[in-house]
Amino acid sequence: MNPGSRETPSPLIYLNNAATSWPKPPGVLEEVARCLQLPLCETGRTAGTGSVDYPTAAREALAAFFHAGPHQNFIFTQNATDSLNLLVHGFTKKAGAPFHTITTELEHNSVLRPLHALEQDGAIRLSVVPFRDNVVGLAEIKRAICPETRLVIMTHGSNVLGSVQDIRPIAEYLKANDIFLIVDGAQTSGHIPVDLSDIPVGAFVFTGHKALFGIPGTGGFFLPDPEAIAITRQGGTGTDSRALIHSCEMPERFEAGTQNYPGIASLRAGIGFIVSTGLDEIERKNRDLTRFFIRELKNVPGVTIYNDDPGLPVVSFNIAGIDNHDAGFILARAYNVITRTGLHCAPLVHERIDGGKGCIRASFSYFTTRDECRAAADAIREVAGSADSQVRPD
């Protein structure tokens, strides 16, 4: 036996949409191509005209989609992680002195790691509140609040449990108590309606490459009060170039350097697809797929589902007797079913649900079919039925 290289099998049953959605709507790919077929309309960076001003058009699409404005207060970043870093470090810089911060066990490392870094530096004191029945509610947040609390960061939807937090009462309570709330909407944006005109968040974070159907490298946040966050990134904005101090105007205040035009074009087209399809229709289809998949797996011996009533199209489970990485490998290579295994960058959730070992996550999109869900469930059933592993010790 000698090593060589490998061919990729196809077709795939892609159930990893909570990481990155695939496939993208055809209009998204066409818009990316269209964007690159003409010179970019880079406001302040070109003497040319004629192409689409994608950043402005996408900001307007986002403002309409999330029912929030002005559209200049939608800031583009690389992804949700980038947004959270800008917001967390910007808020801390603005505070100028150590303060108390609250987050939750449901968080992704995009929240946990910046906060722990700040805690190590002595810039914040951190409390992590537990989830109950798969969610974190206002009661848990209230219990953790102390006079020094200035910031709460919490996920809108868990990327492991698929549970959705009722953020409106939390946002209202925190606003009334002058505590800034950053909501991580990476998993919910594009899956369920988010009406920011009705939820008084300090900031709302989204990513483009998941349920909003954009390509990777797109994301951002909505910030109603720009003054709440200090500028931590400076550079060229194409405006007021004589000034050696970075612009305080929105959106330049938080955007330095040339934008990801193809990515922003894809995000706008992705939102266009959702709007034309109808978010209600997308939500209904995802809910049906999720319930169907759970029904298929619920009574399979050896399969443990960690939330059998998720609000998002995310189903996390384990198979008794098989390491989750092994199960994911088998599903991918023997059945062409692509899931995600391990800790899903959310280690604290796993400490609670599976002792920190991790699990297998299947996540759907509008383009997932019932037949694919059935085939995946059949594959999982077959793997679970073969789980009396034989171990040959050395």
Partner 1 sequence: MKEYVLDEPLTEGFLEFLGNFGMVRSLEQLKKPYFSFEKERFISIKGFTGDNTVEVRYKKEFQDLVADYFHILLFYYRQGKPGIAQMKGIEESMHEKMNVRLGPSKENRP
Interface positions with partner 1 (CB under 8 A): 1-7, 322-323, 326, 329-330, 333-334, 382-383, 385-394
Q: Give me the least distance between CB of 376 and partner 1, in Å please.
A: 15
Nearer to partner 1, 321 or 347 (CB): 321
Q: Give me the least distance between CB of 337 and partner 1, in Å please.
A: 13
Nearer to partner 1, 5 or 49 (CB): 5
Tokens of 149: 């609390």
Nearer to partner 1, 242 or 392 (CB): 392
H or E stretch including 322?
none
Question: CA-CA distance, 97 to 121, in Å (whole number)?
Answer: 12
Long-range contacts of 43-52 (CB under 8 A, 24+ apart): 43/238, 44/237, 44/238, 44/239, 45/236, 45/238, 45/258, 52/265
Q: Give me the least distance between CB of 85 and partner 1, in Å please.
A: 25
The DSSP letter of residue 192 is: B
- Which whole-number Å values give the CA distances from 58 to 258, 260, 271, 372, in the listed order? 15, 12, 9, 32
For the chain, the distance separating the N- and C-terminal CA atoms, rounded to the nearest angstrom, is: 22
Q: Give me the least distance between CB of 388 and partner 1, in Å please.
A: 8
Which stretches does DSSP call E strand in 208-326? 219-222, 303-305, 314-319
In contact, 303 and 354? CB cutoff 8 Å:
no
Nearer to partner 1, 36 or 334 (CB): 334
Nearer to partner 1, 172 or 326 (CB): 326
Nearer to partner 1, 62 or 330 (CB): 330
222 closest CA partner among 94, 60, 344, 340: 60
Q: Give me the least distance between CB of 327 and partner 1, in Å please.
A: 9
Q: Give me the least distance between CB of 11 and partner 1, in Å please.
A: 18
Nearer to partner 1, 212 or 380 (CB): 380
Nearer to partner 1, 123 or 379 (CB): 379
- Which whole-number Å values give the CA distances from 389 to 298, 320, 322, 355, 386, in the listed order? 22, 10, 8, 21, 7
Q: Give me the least distance between CB of 48 and partner 1, in Å please.
A: 45
Q: Give me the least distance between CB of 319 and partner 1, in Å please.
A: 10
CA within 13 Å, CB half, 52: 21
The DSSP letter of residue 8 is: P
In contact, 102 and 232? CB cutoff 8 Å:
no
